[in-house]
Amino acid sequence: NAGVTQTPKFQVLKTGQSMTLQCAQDMNHNSMYWYRQDPGMGLRLIYYSASEGTTDKGEVPNGYNVSRLNKREFSLRLESAAPSQTSVYFCASSETSGYTFGSGTRLTVV
């Protein structure tokens, strides 16, 4: 089925470890996004990519980096994980008809 695929679904990291969250979409959308969702905080935009080759900071970019590898793939990297980065991370893609979200990555940093 067409959509947004995120990997992994679950991850536990130790403080200071690094990891990359992967995201791929097969809908030929230009725009892709990374959000984090925390209880009581709603969705907060981390980074976005309006089109292949461009990336921009969102509301909460500190501690993260992104790569728009090609039109399909948009990865999120945590270079040195901190407990404050414990969250559920969602990737999304869009054209004008609204967003399509992945199923999320639940990350715990201990």
Partner 1 sequence: GDSVTQMEGPVTLSEEAFLTINCTYTATGYPSLFWYVQYPGEGLQLLLKATKADDKGSNKGFEATYRKETTSFHLEKGSVQVSDSAVYFCALSGGFSGGFKTIFGAGTRLFVKA
Closest to partner 1 by CB, 17 vs 37, is 37
**The only residue of 20, 103, 108, 110 in contact with partner 1, by rule CB under 8 A:** 103
Which pair of structure tokens corresponds to residue 106? 């639940």
Tell whether residue 19 is a contact of partner 1 (CB under 8 A). Answer: no
User: In the range 55-94, which residues lie near partner 1 by CB under 8 A?
Assistant: 90, 92, 94
34 binds partner 1 (CB under 8 A): no
Region binding partner 1 by CB under 8 A among candidate stretches 13-21, 37-45, 65-73, 74-82? 37-45
Distance CA 10, CA 1 (A): 22
Residue 70 CA: distances (Å) to CA of 13, 23, 44, 77, 99: 27, 11, 24, 16, 19
Q: Does 53 engage in binding with partner 1 (CB under 8 A)? A: no
